[in-house]
Structure 1
Amino acid sequence: MTVSDVVELEGHIIDSGLMERAFTVVMELGGEFDIEEFRVGTSKDEESYCRMRVIAEDEATLHPILHELHQSGATLAAPTDATLEPAPADHVVPDGFYSTTNHPTDVRVDGEWVPVGNIEMDCAVVVEGVERAPDGTVEPTGDGDVTAETRVLNGIGEGDLVVTGDAGIRVKPPERPRDSSGPFGFMRGGVSAERPSASLIRDIAEAVAETKAQGGHVLCVAGPAVIHAGGGPGLARLVREGYVDAISAGNGFAVHDMERSMYGTSLGMDVETMEHPRKGHKHHIYTISEVIRAGGIEAAVEEGLITEGVMYECVENDRDFVLAGSIRDDGPLPDTITDAVEAQNAIREQAREADLVLMLSSLLHSVAVGNCLPSTTRTVCVDINPATVTQLLDRGSAQAVGMVTDVGTFVPMLAEELLE
């Protein structure tokens, strides 16, 4: 005796590698497959279609196969409604809850596909606008539209209707273009170990400019190395001229940036001459102390204490910034969010607004922001350490493309390409 189910794959399933992944998943997890129908798109815009029966010895073998196929974008040929279970308590999900990917997702409720809002990986899906009968069926309450959205664990309330299992869920991974067209065609290889060149910088600049021309939002995730390596003035120009709409960073980045404004140093090192002035090691703490005395970054700018730099331009041009604290922070600055949950929520709001994200030499913050991004958000990661991009990919941010290079060289070149 064997058990089976039928799944469908649609889109550019050959170019994107979905067909290959589907076959591999079935075989590696102990199943077999039978292709019942296969249509190949014969032009650049024509999509392909595959109807495949998945066969296994028992349900215990079949279920993990279907789960993995579903996460990659396959759907059951005969979809049913999603199963909704009430959360047993605040911050507690029902057994077998569906854990989201970062791909666009729909859930089927009362026979209709409902898009999941604020998509983010490793979250639960909560459905509102319906009520659940004792027999498990659901129907609209009549009080408004049926909606679904992702919720992190601390956002789950007792009684929330949470999607469980894999039935009635449709995942739509972004498809790889058939050619090198589009603003990211030049970096389809994932991680580039090349030094920055005029052509690569120009392509990234074009992507940023295109995003802004379309009314999009650019978020920059920046580490202290941006300032320490000499990229601060270039990033400040991008903020001032409106090419960067928001900054996501930590306490250290802001302190380095304002220390440069006040003393011309970063962690006591003169960023122009690379020399260490006498007692320069105190500048870091002096900067924090003076900003605290002023009452915060905005007050320090208004007082004339801070007269240039990234944080100065954020204040002067009303650009959003989030400084998330860590256990290693000196001070910290009054603007640094020291509550971890509050910091996560602030980063999450920035991520939801972003259409393009520049990640500059910050492994910790790049992974944190990457975890909040849907797979449709274009992401460029620049770091001297290739492990930063590798970890992004390992954590599920497959849309991230990277350049392995010195950020102190990259940022001024990008600013020059965009502004001059």
Structure 2
Amino acid sequence: MTVSRTVELEGHIIDSGSMARCFGAVMDLGGEFDVEAFEVGRHKHEESYCRMTVSADTDGELRAIVHELNQNGATVADPRDATLEEAPADQVVPVDFYSTTNHPTEVRVDGEWLPVENVEMDCALVVEKGNDGSAPRVVTRVLNAIEAGDRVVTGETGIRVDPPERPRGKGSAFGFMQGGVSSERPSKSLIEEIAAEMRDVRDEDGSVLVVCGPAIVHSGGREALADLVRAGYIDALSAGNGFAVHDLERDLYGTSLGVDTETLEHPRKGHKHHIYTISEIGRAGGIEAAVEDEIVTSGVMYECIRNDVPYVLAGSIRDDGPLPDTITDAVEAQAAIREQAHEADLVLMLSTLLHSVAVGNCLPSTTKTVCVDINPATVTQLLDRGSAQAIGMVTDIGTFLPMLADELLEEV
């Protein structure tokens, strides 16, 4: 005896591939489907519709299939509200809690579809009661932020996800370049596209977040990035302890990880410069104090202080020091990164895999993302995290940043 549910798909489900993915998911998970209704959009602005019954041998198998279909945009054809269960304790969710994607999501509460606020992947959904008669809200909540009594969404009923669709027409690079990575791409034209987007974000009072790796300093891109911060094109910075240390080391000693970035020579005791730098900044009382005391007079961190650009330095087990400004509590660092990510309209991920993954986990799929790295595998991994609007460039960051700065600052 089998169990079954009816699901619906609507939108540009054919050319976007979502219908085929749903059919494949049912079969891969051992189920069967029966298409009850299928209406094909006959021009590029007309949407298609599919209703099908999905069946499986057990309730568990059916739940797994419906969950996978939900992630690909299918909605359970059921007018019921989402199922809510109270969290039994702090940091504990109900067994069948709904785990989010990074795509725009709606939840049906009291007969009304409510948009999920601050969408990000791998979170629970919590329905908060409105105060003073106001409407309820649906928010994402990381598991360690769950509190006893939170009303957590469970199951798949009353949830609909809007995954990205392949754009129609040429559009911008953020559309037609998505999903592919190649070092053969026309770098200059792509940089022009990125620069144009950054101008638009600035003109519309949006926010550009830059995620920085130490290779920016090692490869000679530091001055170009500092110029962009000073010119107002960067609104927030996220990095690890290493990036800030080497940026500051370059100012204090003219080296990055002990190597002179101009001559590529190894000065005597150069291998100690990074730890000397940490000591000097600690003695001053932090980066801001070092800038105010004119101990540090140039670089990316200097420009962030001088231009009130907020930054988050997230620590790791590998860090030397670390700097006084580095957040060493992992949960606290995650919360700070999450706040930056939720405010960003455009994110530049520059030569740092692990830190970019951390930021990318907090981003909705609708946030425009640029990833630049010399390693193709890094770019592919970051773009495959589900951004609907992404550019990937395999190139030297020391070449990319000066070209981007030239494009943006030529009008200044």
Give the TM-score range, shorter chain: over 0.9
- What's the CA shift string for 1:320-349, capped at 9, x where partnerless? 100000111111111000111110000000
- The match for 1:22 is 22
How far residue 196 of structure 1 moved from its aligned partner, in angstroms, is 6.1
- The match for 1:367 is 357
- The match for 1:71 is 71
Cα separation, partners in 2 of 1:104 and 1:413, compared to 1, 3 Å: same
Name the TM-score, length of structure 1 as normaliser.
0.93
- The match for 2:190 is 200
- The match for 2:48 is 48
Name the TM-score, length of structure 2 as normaliser.
0.95
Alignment check: 8 A CA contact 2:368 2:390 kept: yes
- The match for 1:244 is 234
4+ residue runs over 6 A deviation: none
| 1:89-108 equivalent positions in 2, closer than 5 A | 89-108=89-108
- The match for 2:339 is 349
- The answer to whether 1:339 aligns with 2:329 is yes
- What's the CA shift string for 1:385-420, capped at 9, x where partnerless? 122233335555565441111111111111111111
Alpha-carbon distance in 1 for matches of 2:373, 2:74: 34
- What's the CA shift string for 1:7-66, capped at 9, x where partnerless? 111122122210111111112112222222222223332222222222334433322111
Alpha-carbon distance in 2 for matches of 1:181, 1:252: 38
Q: Secondary structure at the match of 2:382?
A: helix
Alpha-carbon distance in 1 for matches of 2:187, 2:371: 16
Alignment check: 8 A CA contact 1:184 1:207 kept: no
- What's the CA shift string for 1:100-127, capped at 9, x where partnerless? 1111111111111111111111111111
| 1:298-313 equivalent positions in 2, closer than 5 A | 298-313=288-303
Task: Compare 229-238 and 393-402 and name the one that shifted more.
Answer: 393-402
Task: Compare 40-49 and 343-352 and name the one that shifted more.
Answer: 40-49
Q: Secondary structure at the match of 2:361?
A: helix
Query: What code does the residue aligned with 2:362 have?
Result: C
Alpha-carbon distance in 2 for matches of 1:2, 1:12: 31
- The answer to whether 1:181 aligns with 2:171 is yes
| 1:203-352 equivalent positions in 2, closer than 5 A | 203-352=193-342
Alpha-carbon distance in 1 for matches of 2:384, 2:192: 28
Q: How many residues align?
A: 410
How far residue 186 of structure 1 moved from its aligned partner, in angstroms, is 4.4
Alignment check: 8 A CA contact 1:104 1:171 kept: yes
Q: Secondary structure at the match of 1:226?
A: helix
Alignment check: 8 A CA contact 1:16 1:176 kept: yes
- The match for 1:135 is none
Query: What code does the residue aligned with 2:125 have?
Result: V
Alignment check: 8 A CA contact 1:102 1:373 kept: yes
Alignment check: 8 A CA contact 2:32 2:56 kept: yes
- The match for 1:137 is none
Alpha-carbon distance in 2 for matches of 1:15, 1:186: 14
Alpha-carbon distance in 2 for matches of 1:99, 1:271: 46
Alignment check: 8 A CA contact 1:129 1:142 kept: no
- The match for 2:36 is 36
Alpha-carbon distance in 2 for matches of 1:308, 1:129: 49
How far residue 143 of structure 1 moved from its aligned partner, in angstroms, is 3.8
Q: Secondary structure at the match of 1:46?
A: coil
How far residue 384 of structure 1 moved from its aligned partner, in angstroms, is 1.1
Query: What code does the residue aligned with 1:250 have?
Result: G
Cα separation, partners in 2 of 1:109 and 1:142, compared to 1, 3 Å: farther
Q: Secondary structure at the match of 1:329?
A: coil
Query: What code does the residue aligned with 1:260 have?
Result: R
Alpha-carbon distance in 1 for matches of 2:132, 2:280: 57
Alpha-carbon distance in 2 for matches of 1:236, 1:195: 26
| 1:357-396 equivalent positions in 2, closer than 5 A | 357-393=347-383, 395-396=385-386
Identical residues among aligned pairs (%): 72
Alpha-carbon distance in 2 for matches of 1:196, 1:228: 25
- The match for 1:114 is 114
Alpha-carbon distance in 1 for matches of 2:179, 2:384: 15
Alpha-carbon distance in 1 for matches of 2:60, 2:293: 67
Query: What is the root-mean-square deviation in Å for CA atoms of aligned residues?
Result: 1.8
- The match for 1:134 is none
